[in-house]
Amino acid sequence: MSMPLLLQYQGEGEFRTPSRYWAREADKQFVVGEHYRLAEHNDRSAASHNHYFAAISEAWENLPDHLLEEYPSPDHLRKKMLVRAGYADERSFVCTSKAEAQRLAAFLKPVNSYAVIIVKEAVVREYTAQSQSHKAMGKQVFQESKDKVLNQIAALLGTNPEDLKSRGQAA
């Protein structure tokens, strides 16, 4: 897989590399005369990334005591809120009985303390948060997930999402 190149648009359909380094990288990846499709790649900002994690830490430090068992760390809070916001992968297990489903759920819970386990009748569903790494989530999806997670946390705390976001910026 090739790495994204830094190119500068010159107008009239022409792109140039901004330095000799990028020209060498382009020469490694492309063949003169071939046709390539170009797509814009927007990196997410470090400021947005840092704000998000600061807001989550700030929210976690203000969790009521009765919620600390379910969310023992800021990562638990973030990952479980990602699941609630729909950024999750699901595995379903169909058991032969309700009792077997309860046993399976009890077995799965300590395997991944970040997972959300739901038992309904004889079916166990395990939800794990999707990665928010730079590689896994682009700028737009990260921003959408960030907004939804912060909204979920604000609802959990009974506060305004804008207050939570501003406290994250202050931190």
**Which string of DSSP letters, residue by residue, matches 65-87?**
GGGTTT--SHHHHHHHHHHHTT-
For 101: left if phi > 0, alpha if psi spans -120 to 50, otherwise beta; the answer is alpha
Rounded to two decimals, the pTM is: 0.72
Domain assignment of residue 75, given as a range: 46-170
50 shares a domain with 20: no
Per-residue pLDDT of the chain (171 residues; tens, 9 = 90+): 466 788 888 888 888 888 888 888 888 888 888 888 887 666 677 788 888 999 999 999 999 999 999 999 999 999 999 999 999 999 999 999 999 999 999 999 999 999 999 999 999 999 999 999 888 888 889 999 999 999 999 999 998 888 777 765 655
98 shares a domain with 141: yes
Query: Nearest Cα to 80, choosing from 91, 70, 65?
Result: 70
5 shares a domain with 58: no
105 shares a domain with 89: yes
24 shares a domain with 89: no
CA 65 to centroid of chain Cα atoms = 26
146 shares a domain with 79: yes
87 shares a domain with 11: no
Domain count, the chain: 2
